[in-house]
Amino acid sequence: MKLRAISLIRDEIDIIGLFLKHIDALFDEIILLDHQSMDGTTELLRQAVAQRPSWKYYRVDIKQKFQKQLMNFFIQRFGADEFDYLFFLDGDEFFWVKDRRSLEELLTNTHSESGVYAFKWFNSITKNLGSLKPLDKNNHLIVSNEPGGWQKIVVNWKRIDTGDFCVKEGNHEAYYLDGQVYPNTVIGKILHIPIRSRHQFTSKGLLTHCSLLLEANRTPGYSFQFNNFVQRIAKNSLSDAELMRCMYYYQIANDPIPPNWEKDFLSQCTVQKISKMGVAFSDRLKLKFPKHVPSIEQRIANALLNGNILDPNACRILLKDETISIDTIA
């Protein structure tokens, strides 16, 4: 069984080392799309690819997020490739399986008529939100025992018609070209760690919001949480309790947060050490973290510099060597 994963990553230096060791334990082939990272993530991605000939690195030279467009571009490029399953994964997501064999068992022991499977989010937040150190297996997480409202799909590549298959924003669902949603079968869990520290949360919120501002005609509701995050950053209201409240948008939806929601959420959570959670990691990769990391001011300036508001539907993705760019359609 050959397993392939694709991931769009931007400025995840605090978790990328752990993520790379996770995917190294599970997948044969990895496509790493580096969306203009400046915080040292690029260096670690290149180090990993240098050690894994079956992995590929691409630099996404696009100011806008364009996640859906990038995923669907590669789905079409993969059309004639020989592999069994395609996984979509972000840098803060970890399949909750103890090893490769366990993942294969989930795939082979459950039937999906459509060829599309799903892994439900189980959201978590780090216990120490003031830390600036990269996450490792010794960190403790506050983990929800109840699934969140979102999932990530996995595709049986030999069962779908790649010419009539697309993914939606966030890789939460797949659909036919006529807009009909592919049914999917939930077969497992994903450990999702969207909030690791106050610094990381602020950086992610601002950088993502910058990229979304440059995207015209964006579908209402997509990436809704980042507008809420920026409002909180602007009010300088990022206490630990407020960061916990922000978990609501990953756990539930874009509704007003009910009173005392974070207390109810915490009441069903448990504190767990990452190394004891039964999540697969490989120790074969050798990664050296960079010494210098640009400031958030530099990263925001880079995100906005020479940026123009573009409509994704009026653009096409271009790939040359290892650089991904866009061109406007005349």
pLDDT tens-digit readout, 1-36? 999 999 999 999 999 999 999 999 999 999 999 999
- 295-308 mean pLDDT: 91
Of 67, 326, 86, 94, the C-alpha closest to 222 is 67
Q: What is the model's pTM?
A: 0.94
Total length of the chain: 330
* Strands in 113-259 per DSSP E: 116-126, 140-144, 151-156, 166-167, 174-175, 185-195
pLDDT tens per residue, range 124-151? 999 999 988 999 999 999 999 999 989 9
CA distances from 148 to 121, 122, 144, 294 (A): 5, 6, 8, 33
Nearest residue to 63 via CA among 316, 260, 303 = 303
Calpha distance 128→163 (Å, rounded) = 46
Average pLDDT, the chain: 92
pLDDT digits (tens, 9 = 90+) for 217-242: 876 666 667 777 888 888 877 888 88
Q: How buried is 102 (Cβ within 10 angstroms: 0-12 exposed, 13-18 middle, 19+ buried)?
A: middle
How confident is the model at residue 43, as a pLDDT? 97
Average pLDDT over residues 89-106: 97
Instruction: Note the pLDDT tens digit of each residue in 265-285.
Output: 999 999 999 999 999 999 999
